[in-house]
Structure 1
Amino acid sequence: MTDAETTTAADFRDVPTTTLADLLGREHVIDPGIHPLWQPVPRVAGPAFTVRCPPGDNLMLHAAIHRAAPGSVIVVESGDREYALAGGNVCAVARRRGIAAFVADGLVRDLAEVRELGFPVFARGTVPIPGAKSAVRPLNEPVRCGGVLVAAGDVVVADEEGIVTVPAARTTEILTAARARLAKEAAQSLDAWEKDHRTRIDTILAAQGFQESFE
């Protein structure tokens, strides 16, 4: 039995991206230029449904909304800074079909409609010009989004702090570690944290030869 069969993406909805980033490191944190386009955005967690769209074309994202399973986070590789990958109607259909969110290395349009829908979109920004629909690409192949390699089925967790990907093969390991860390943090008072923090920082300073200066 694999991790993916014993742990579901929904289990990560209570785990902040800050905790996951501490455990997984920079290579699993998507470029912060891809950010929530409206606030306050709820935390979302779902298996990645991956899409590749060449610059200027959005055909495969439009195809994906009819194929991704409910609960999926559609992750788009594009890099386009001139044309929109999606607009209000595409987001409305995605939301109606139960898709959890878009994470797009590109732009969208109709932000007011998207915000009113309450559909979470993490992207680089907005532009009013729609892309073309002609370039066919395979779905659910590995993509690079915001500098991170994402495979179909990896768990994508996104909130106001950022976006982190959890490899499908490590979901149980990472969820267990995250829950343990959160429980430890919840049990520690601020006084205890301050004492530990001061000791750790002073130890590092001493090791680097820091000298106190009093004037």
Structure 2
Amino acid sequence: MSDFTEFGNVPSTTLADILGREQVMDYGVRPLWSDIPRVAGPAFTVRCPAGDNLMLHAAIHRAEPGSIIVVQSGDVDFALAGGNVCAVAQRRGVAAIVTDGVIRDLGEVRQMRFPVFARGIIPIPGTKSAVEPLNVQVRCGGVRVNAGDIVVADEEGIVVTPRARRDEVLAAARAKLAKEAGESLDAWEEAHRARIDKILADQGFEDSTGPEPGA
């Protein structure tokens, strides 16, 4: 779990810069309470068809401690989970639930400070009848997620690092963070202006030399 712990020190913004748009869930999947901590861990994937939440309820008893349950939901009309499901997940060591569906009992979830990233809340629960395989590829927030991929979720967003790229991405993140830590704002500003001015010049932009407004 050491690599997952290290990913917990990497902001989602840094990973997004490295991995690109296709590994970043869309902005609708967001933290459901404020001051949510950054979480990182291997994905335990779940697929729930429209109106049904059986497999998420099954997953909380099967996911390993430290994992993040990632749920592909069939709709946003019925809650996938509520306070008791989140409480059991938390008690069993699950790090978080990430879903492109909705949950209920937000007050309970917020009080226990269990990290949930979802599209929102709704008071009515789904049914429990549709059996689906666990730990198969799912699509959540527009991102394909496989079991064991590394999920990092914080207040900025959710980024998924493919399991096969774990070492490469972690090394790149370490290097990027070290570079940024050693760079002053003055140095960043100088390099930034030079880069922007070059892009403008290459596109034929010219600064106005006319009179200032109001002259």
TM range (shorter): over 0.9
Overall identity of the aligned pairs, in %: 70
Match of 2:185 in 1: 190
- Aligned counterpart in structure 1 of residue 168 of structure 2, from 165, 169, 173: 173
* Distance in 1, Cα, partners of 2:126 & 2:7: 33
Pairing of 1:1-80 with structure 2 (within 5 A) = 8-80=3-75
Q: Provide the rounded CA distance (Å) in 1 between the counterparts of 2:100 and 2:178.
A: 34
Q: Return the match for 1:102 from 97, 101, 104.
A: 97
* Alpha-carbon separation, structure 2, partners of 1:24 and 1:82: 32
User: Aligned-residue CA RMSD in angstroms?
Assistant: 0.9
Alignment of 1:137-176 (within 5 A): 137-176=132-171
> Distance in 1 between the 2:199 and 2:162 partners?
33
Q: Corresponding residue for 2:127?
A: 132
Deviations 1:85-119 (A, max 9, x none): 00000000000000000001100000000000000
Structure 1 gaps, min length 5: none
CA distance in 2, matches of 1:116, 1:177: 36
Q: Distance in 2 between matches of 1:80 and 1:129?
A: 13
Q: Which amino acid aligns with 1:146?
A: G
**Aligned mates of 1:117, 1:29 — CA distance in 2:** 27
Give the drift of 1:73. Answer: 0.3
Output the CA distance in 1 between the equivalents of 2:208 and 2:80: 56
In structure 1, the partner of 2:202 is 207
- Partner amino acid, structure 2, of 1:138: P
For residues 108-148 of structure 1, the C-alpha deviation after alignment (integer angstroms, 9 at most, x for no partner) is 00000000000000000000000000000000000000110
8 Å Cα contact 2:38-2:154 kept in structure 1: yes
Q: Is the 8 A contact 2:51 2:74 kept in 1?
A: no
Q: Give the Å deviation of 1:169.
A: 0.6
Dislocated runs of 4+, deviation >3 Å: none
The structural deviation recorded for 1:8 is 2.4
Deviation at 1:9, TM superposition (A): 1.6
What is the identity, as a one-letter code, of the residue corresponding to 1:85? L
TM-score (norm 1): 0.96
Alignment-mate amino acid for residue 140 of structure 1: N
Q: Distance in 2 between matches of 1:211 and 1:9?
A: 48
Deviation at 1:79, TM superposition (A): 3.8
Taking the aligned partners of 1:191 and 1:89, their CA distance within structure 2 comes to 51
- The count of aligned residue pairs is 210
